[in-house]
Structure 1
Amino acid sequence: MADLNHLQSLLDSEAKSLHVPGAAVGVLFEGAEHVLTTGVTSVDAPVPVTGDTLFQIGSTTKTVTATAAMHLLENGRLDLDGRVRRYLPGFRLADERAAEELTVRHLLTHTGGFLGDIDDGESWDTGALAASIDAYDQLPQLFPPGTLASYNNAGFRLLGRVVEAVCGEPYEDAIRRIVLDPLGMSSSFFFPWEAVTRPHAVGHAVREEGPQVVHTWGLFRDAMAEGGLASSVRDQLRYAAFHLGAGGEAPVGAATRELMQREHVRIGVPWTGIGLPWLLEEQAGVRLVTHGGNIGNLQLSTFVLAPERGFAVTTLTNSAPGKVLGKLVTDWCLEHLLDAKPQAVRLTLREPTPEYAGSYDAGQWTFEVDEGLTARFVLRPELVAAGVEGMPDMPLALVEGCDDVTIAGDPRQAVGRFLRDDAGEIAFLHLAGRAARRIR
Structure 2
Amino acid sequence: MMNGDLQALLDESARELGVPGAVIGIIDGDQEHVLTTGVAAADTGAPVTEDTLFQIGSTSKTFTGTVAMHLIENGLLELDTRVIDVLPDLRLADETAVQSLRIRHLLTHSGGFLGDADELPGWGDDALARNIATYGSLPQFFAPGTIASYSNAGMRLLGRVIEVVTGETFEQAVQRIVLDPLGMTETFFFPWDVITRPHAVGHVPGADGTIVPFPLWGITRDMNAEGGIVSSVGDQLRYARFHLRGETGGSALVGEATRLRMQQPQLSAGPPVEAIGYPWLLTHRGEARVVMHGGNIADIQISEFLFAPDHDLAITVLTNSGGGKALGSRIVDWCFEHLRGVSTTSAGMELRSPDMLDELTGTYDAGQWHYDVTRVGDALEFAMVFSPHIIALGIPPRPPMRLRVRADGALITDDDQAVGRTLDPSEGGPELLHLGLRAVRRR
- Same fold flag (TM > 0.5): yes
Q: Pairwise mapping of residues 97-176 of structure 1 onto structure 2 (< 5 A)?
A: 97-176=96-175
Opposite residue 209 of structure 2, the aligned amino acid is E
SS at match of 1:194: helix
Pairing 1:406–2:377 present? no
| Contact 2:147 2:268 survives alignment (8 Å) | no
SS at match of 1:268: coil
| Contact 1:188 1:235 survives alignment (8 Å) | yes
- Farther off after superposition, 344-353 or 289-298: 344-353
Q: 1:379 aligns with which of 370, 374, 386?
A: 386
Distance 1:424 1:329, change over 3 A: closer
Pairing 1:196–2:198 present? no
Q: Pairwise mapping of residues 255-334 of structure 1 onto structure 2 (< 5 A)?
A: 255-334=257-336
| Contact 2:127 2:221 survives alignment (8 Å) | yes
Distance 1:100 1:41, change over 3 A: same
Aligned partner of 1:342 in structure 2 is 344
Q: Pairwise mapping of residues 48-59 of structure 1 onto structure 2 (< 5 A)?
A: 48-59=47-58
Aligned partner of 1:388 in structure 2 is 395
Question: 1: CA distance between counterparts of 2:382 and 2:150?
Answer: 19
- What is the CA distance between 1:388 and its match in structure 2? 2.8
Structure 2 gaps of 5+ residues are none
- What is the CA distance between 1:202 and its match in structure 2? 0.6
- Farther off after superposition, 298-307 or 27-36: 27-36
Distance 1:259 1:377, change over 3 A: same
SS at match of 1:415: strand
Structure 1 gaps of 5+ residues are none
| Contact 1:297 1:390 survives alignment (8 Å) | no
| Contact 1:420 1:427 survives alignment (8 Å) | no
Question: 2: CA distance between counterparts of 1:424 and 1:45?
Answer: 50
> For 1:273-309, what per-residue CA distance to the aligned partner results, in whole angstroms no more than 9, with x for missing partners?
1100100110121100000000001000000111112
* Cα RMSD, aligned residues only: 1.4
TM-score w.r.t. structure 1 length? 0.96
| Contact 1:245 1:254 survives alignment (8 Å) | no
- What is the CA distance between 1:4 and its match in structure 2? 2.1
| Contact 1:293 1:301 survives alignment (8 Å) | yes
Q: Pairwise mapping of residues 9-24 of structure 1 onto structure 2 (< 5 A)?
A: 9-24=8-23
Opposite residue 238 of structure 2, the aligned amino acid is R
| Count of residues paired in the alignment | 435
| Contact 2:296 2:303 survives alignment (8 Å) | yes
Q: 1:250 aligns with which of 241, 249, 252?
A: 252
| Contact 2:61 2:155 survives alignment (8 Å) | yes
| Contact 1:43 1:212 survives alignment (8 Å) | yes
- What is the CA distance between 1:209 and its match in structure 2? 2.2
- What is the CA distance between 1:206 and its match in structure 2? 2.2
| Contact 2:20 2:211 survives alignment (8 Å) | yes
| Contact 1:296 1:389 survives alignment (8 Å) | no
- What is the CA distance between 1:397 and its match in structure 2? 0.8
- What is the CA distance between 1:246 and its match in structure 2? 4.3
SS at match of 1:405: strand
- What is the CA distance between 1:351 and its match in structure 2? 4.0
Opposite residue 287 of structure 1, the aligned amino acid is R
Opposite residue 437 of structure 2, the aligned amino acid is G
Pairing 1:187–2:193 present? no
Question: 2: CA distance between counterparts of 1:255 and 1:424?
Answer: 35
Aligned partner of 2:239 in structure 1 is 239
Question: 2: CA distance between counterparts of 1:379 and 1:133?
Answer: 23
- What is the CA distance between 1:268 and its match in structure 2? 3.0
